[in-house]
Amino acid sequence: MSVRWIDFHGQPAMALRLPHGDRAVVLQHGAQLVSWCSADGVEHLYVSPRAMLDGQSAVRGGVPVCFPQFNQRGPLLKHGFARHLPWRLRAVRDDAVTLGLAHGPVTAAFWPHAFDAQLTVQLTPNAVRASLRAENKGDVPWPFTTALHTYLRMADVRQAELTGLEGASQWDAVLDVHGVSQGAPRFGAEFDRVYQAPGGPLTLSEAGQPGRLAISQSASCPQTVVWNPGATLCGRLADLPADGWQQMLCIEAGCIDEAVVLPPAAVWEGWQQLAWTA
């Protein structure tokens, strides 16, 4: 695998490429995977054309790292501070790069705990895996929630076919209703549900479009979040175009319902993998 630094719309990023053409781009800002193309040249991640690529703001698209808080479930910034800060390159392997973010004066302004976080992006033929590792570097336990907030590119989300969640316990955040998933979800209006993650991978395809994605996650991420803003909410989001909701679907691997309490010197790891079959 070749790795080189590039300019991604004004931001430093690493471009990864395999001999057969698979490629990916990882921003230094937030250690955010913002592009993944399989060997056939198909781009699978959505980044909004209005994303704020200023080195400070959260970037709308790709795979934001939500850490050490998911959404507004706590006192920190929405989805935590990790996606707002520059990470440092730590390692380059034959098939992966690792970036790190450590406790210091900047993070202490948000969160008092001593931590070390690593995000590894592994690129293999027709697949990519994002793995998050968190270590408690202090002398007291601390809690956190987290998610890999993946934005997948769609031709038209209304034609999406997502299977594998049938029978899973779910919370519909739009209606604030708990229940069990009945059949495959359909997208058009605002959609925001937290599922108890199934044991096997999900499959995402689109009617009339070739190929399918298999989406899997580690057992340490017991929830799967599926989100699409729909037209009304999309119109209120300044960093999405009016039709942006049609072109994306978030399928997130998360540990959000109950916080992980990490003892001193302990390590937590979680991952999400996307695999493409043309």
Give the pLDDT of the chain (278 residues) as one tens digit per residue. Answer: 999 999 999 999 999 999 999 999 999 999 999 999 999 999 999 999 999 999 999 999 999 999 999 998 888 889 999 999 999 999 999 999 999 999 999 999 999 999 999 999 999 999 999 999 999 999 999 999 999 999 999 999 999 999 999 999 999 999 999 999 998 999 999 999 999 999 899 999 999 999 999 999 999 999 999 999 999 999 999 999 999 999 999 999 999 999 999 999 999 999 999 999 99
Burial grade of 58 (CB within 10 A; 0-12, 13-18, 19 or more)? buried
Q: Give the other-Cβ count within 10 Å of 47's Cβ.
A: 22
The pLDDT score that the predictor gives to residue 76 is 87
Report, as residue numbers or ranges, the catalytic residues.
Answer: 149, 252
Residue 212: inside a domain: yes
What's the token pair of residue 184?
């495959």
Q: Give the other-Cβ count within 10 Å of 21's Cβ.
A: 12
Residue 239: inside a domain: yes
Residue 15: inside a domain: no
The b/e string for 249-259 (b: 16+ C-beta within 10 A; e otherwise) is bbbbbbbbeeb
Residue 125: inside a domain: yes
What's the token pair of residue 228?
């699409």
Residue 185: inside a domain: yes
What CATH number has the domain bearing residue 139?
Answer: 2.70.98.10
Residue 209: inside a domain: yes
The answer, yes or no, to whether the previous bond of 68 is cis (omega within 30 of 0) is yes
Residue labelled with tokens 């968190």: 134
Domain residue limits at 223: 46-81+105-277
Instruction: Say which residues have a Cβ less than 8 Å from residue 42's Cβ, sequence separation at least 6.
Output: 211, 276, 278
The b/e string for 111-125 (b: 16+ C-beta within 10 A; e otherwise) is bebbbebbbbbbbee
**Percent of residues in the chain assigned helix, strand, coil, to nearest 5:** 5, 50, 45
Number of independent structural domains in the chain: 1
Closest to 255 in 3D by CA, of 148, 162, 103:
148
The pLDDT score that the predictor gives to residue 121 is 98
What DSSP state is assigned to residue 86? B
Residue 31: inside a domain: no
Using only C-alpha atoms, the chain has a radius of gyration, in whole angstroms, of 18
Evaluate whether 69 touches 80 at the Cβ level (below 8 Å). Answer: yes
Pairing type for strands 202-206 and 177-180 reads unpaired
